Every structure is written in structure tokens, then in C-alpha cells.
């Protein structure tokens, strides 16, 4: 049996620490603390926490991970079917509560990943960057054996029902269900157009809210700075040839997905097939490049934009702190 690591770390050339969490396993929080200690000893100017593709895991692990970045306060509200609630608070023992923080998300960031990203956003502790929103999985389910529950008969197989038991809410009172956690700065990607979120399911539970929990604001995601970051990123993307080509491929993908018919005209059909073949070839080349590299945070145009955003964010925070100090 091959057990893959749940965490990867790297110091980037720009003196920014990078942590990729693959899942929220039982020991991921302990592993993260050890890695944070090593990274912080190198005095990075900022930290990127990558939750892309992380489908979640243990709830207590997510609480302990949030606690590394938030000193104290409510980080999650859990509501049960009978209306009762359980409140989860930071442990107050974090070692990375001041470093500028960028959290990366995509539609594959679900459940525990959304709890972490949402709490950091609600506290103004950092910025969330990537696809427009996370997956939108804000509930807990269990399988109920029908024979056992209804007839007290464990011998006959009557099937099972998947029953929702709990729902999660962020410190501001918003559920992560359906809507997920919205990015502060959106970077274009094809995954943003894929129907892979909780809201794309036929019978997904609706989004709702509870009373917000009182909590402090770190002031590390000021609206004016976020507005400037969005503007700068959009301008860079517009001028970048690789992003321009990506946007072309995204539009082609959307057109293909929304098409209800296929043209029987041979010229139109062959032109369309050539476009799709070219797109597939480009995607395969990109995949080969990624698989063939042992670098964790690969030097791609997308990741370079993440670095650009991180640098501008760190610089903006530094200027604001200096202005307040004076």
C-alpha cells in the first residue's frame, strides 16, 4: 500500500513560503505545524496556502489548522437536525497569525477546505484567490440502514438512505452549502466553467444562514487593497498571451458544452473537430510538463500570476502598516 503525503512545502524564489494541503488527515495538523516552524525560521515575507483539489477530511483537523493562523475566536458553527448548535473556537496557540496569507481555491476545494478558507476570509486574516468559488459542500451525511432503523431487522437487506445530519456555518453566519467560499481575486481557469460544484447537483440542499458569531477583524484584507489587486490582475491577464489563449480555449469549451446540436455540414464539422483536437493537444502538453516535473509549485503562467498577486498584496499591506505607524 502506497501512502501519499497530505502536505507539500517549498520556499519559492521570491521568499514566499508555499504549503499545499492535499487532504485533512488525522495528523495533517501536526505535520503542518512542523512544516510551518521550518518555513517561518527562514523568515518568508508571505505564505501561500494551496487548498486546490483538497476535498476535505477530518473536522477537528481543519479547526487545528485554522488555529495556526487565527489567535482566538469562533471559527465554525455546526448545526444539527434538531436545531442545536456546537461552536468551535481557535485553540489560541497559532504560530503563523501575522504573516500575510494567500489561500488558493478551486471547485475541488470542499468541506474542510471551505471551513479553513471561509474562516480566514471572515476574520480578514488573508485573501482568497483562484476560481470564483469553492465546491459548496457544507453538510455532513451518514448512511442509514433501512431494515435496521425501521424494522429492527439486520438480516434482510432493505437498502440504505443517505441522511444529512449536520450543516456548517462560517463565523459570519453564512453556510458554505451550494455557494461555497467566494474568491477575493479570480484568476481565469477552465475548471471555473465545469459543472462540478455542489450547486450543480439536482437535489442539493439550499444555502442558508445563522446568527453571526462575534469575532475580531485582522484588517489584512482591506477592501481598497482587494479592489486594487483585482484591477492589476485583470490588466496583467489581458496583456498575457498565454492567458489570452487560455480564455480562447475556455470560450471554446463553454460553446461546446452549451451546444445542443452538431452541424452536418462537412466543412463546419471538420473545422470544429480541428479546433477541439488542437485544444486537446495543448492540454496534453501542459499535463506532460506538470507530470514530468518534480517541482511542487510549477513555473506556469497561472502560478506566476498567483505570485504577482501575492507580491502586490504583501507590498500593499506593508504600505498600509507603515501609513498607520506614521
Q: Three-class SS of residue 210? A: coil
Q: How many CB atoms lie within 10 A of CB 161?
A: 13
Q: Which of 122, 179, 184, 221 is catalytic?
A: 122
How many Å apart are CA 78 and CA 83, to the nearest integer?
Answer: 10
| CA gap 189, 169 in Å, rounded | 27
CA 161 to chain CA centroid, Å, is: 29
Report d(CA 48, CA 26) in Å as an integer: 22
- Tally of CB atoms within 10 A around 211: 9
Distances (CA, A) of 56 to 9, 111, 116, 301, 321: 18, 5, 10, 27, 34
Catalytic residue among 111, 113, 221, 233, which? 111
Whether residue 221 lies in the annotated active site: no
**Extended strands (E) in the chain:** 7-11, 16-21, 46-50, 74-80, 85-89, 101-105, 127-130, 139-145, 160-169, 185-186
The grid coordinates listed for 239 are 496583456
137 part of the active site: yes
Catalytic residue from among 109, 131, 137, 179: 137
Give the whole-angstrom CA distance, residue 326 versus residue 315. Answer: 17
Residue pair 105/134 in contact by the 8 Å Cβ criterion = yes
Catalytic positions, please? 111, 122, 137
Amino acid at each position: 500500500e502506497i501512502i501519499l503525503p497530505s502536505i507539500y512545502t517549498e520556499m519559492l524564489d521570491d521568499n514566499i513560503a508555499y504549503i499545499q494541503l492535499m487532504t485533512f488527515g488525522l495528523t495533517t495538523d501536526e505535520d503542518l505545524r512542523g512544516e510551518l516552524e521550518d518555513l517561518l525560521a527562514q523568515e518568508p515575507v508571505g505564505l501561500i496556502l494551496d487548498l486546490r483539489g483538497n476535498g476535505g477530511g477530518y473536522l477537528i483537523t481543519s479547526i487545528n489548522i485554522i488555529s495556526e493562523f487565527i489567535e482566538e475566536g469562533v471559527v465554525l458553527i455546526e448545526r444539527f437536525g434538531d436545531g442545536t448548535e456546537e461552536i468551535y473556537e481557535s485553540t489560541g496557540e497559532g504560530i503563523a497569525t501575522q504573516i500575510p496569507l494567500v489561500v488558493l481555491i478551486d471547485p475541488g476545494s470542499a468541506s474542510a477546505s471551505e471551513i479553513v478558507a471561509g474562516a480566514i476570509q471572515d476574520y480578514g486574516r488573508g485573501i482568497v484567490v483562484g476560481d470564483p468559488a469553492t465546491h459548496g459542500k457544507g453538510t455532513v451525511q451518514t448512511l442509514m440502514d433501512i431494515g435496521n432503523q425501521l424494522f429492527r431487522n439486520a438480516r434482510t437487506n432493505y437498502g440504505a438512505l443517505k441522511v444529512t445530519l449536520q450543516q456548517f456555518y462560517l463565523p459570519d453566519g453564512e453556510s458554505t452549502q451550494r455557494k461555497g467560499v467566494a474568491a477575493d481575486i479570480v484568476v481565469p481557469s477552465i475548471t471555473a466553467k465545469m459543472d462540478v460544484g455542489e450547486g450543480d447537483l439536482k437535489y442539493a440542499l439550499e444555502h442558508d444562514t445563522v446568527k453571526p458569531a462575534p469575532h475580531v477583524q485582522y484588517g489584512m484584507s482591506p477592501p481598497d487593497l482587494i479592489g486594487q489587486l483585482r484591477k492589476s490582475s485583470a490588466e496583467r491577464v489581458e496583456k498575457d498571451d498565454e492567458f489570452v489563449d487560455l480564455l480562447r480555449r475556455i470560450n471554446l469549451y463553454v460553446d461546446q458544452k452549451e451546444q445542443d446540436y452538431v452541424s452536418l455540414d462537412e466543412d463546419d464539422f471538420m473545422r470544429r473537430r480541428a479546433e477541439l483536437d488542437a485544444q486537446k493537444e495543448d492540454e496534453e502538453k501542459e499535463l506532460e510538463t506538470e507530470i514530468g516535473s518534480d517541482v511542487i509549485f510549477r513555473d506556469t503562467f497561472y502560478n506566476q500570476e498567483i505570485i504577482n498577486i501575492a507580491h502586490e498584496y504583501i507590498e500593499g499591506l506593508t504600505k498600509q502598516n507603515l501609513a498607520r505607524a506614521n
